[in-house]
Structure 1
């Protein structure tokens, strides 16, 4: 039983760390959106994946050609 408790404690810590990271990312994205909406002077960096992955309209246009 004690071995199971040790594993459960490690899993709980990992889950808490993942949850904390997700919450911080959410708050950061909320701050970015709010700063843009109120006209804040400097933009905060957000990852742009459009250079890595094509959007749906780009893929459809490529299929039509």
Structure 2
């Protein structure tokens, strides 16, 4: 398997990890915090999800 943008994996993982920690803190605050925690998880895991999609949808060896 040929990795596409291998430098982005640690960055996306860090963002997802920070989002998970923040969502755990928000969830403990109040009812509105729970809704914000869900949105935090969705937004913070999005770069990692896009990176994973790029690994299977790109063609190795070119930009065509």
Indicate the structure (1 or 2) with the bigger Cα radius of gyration. 1
**TM-score normalized with structure 1 length:** 0.41
TM-score relative to the length of structure 2: 0.42
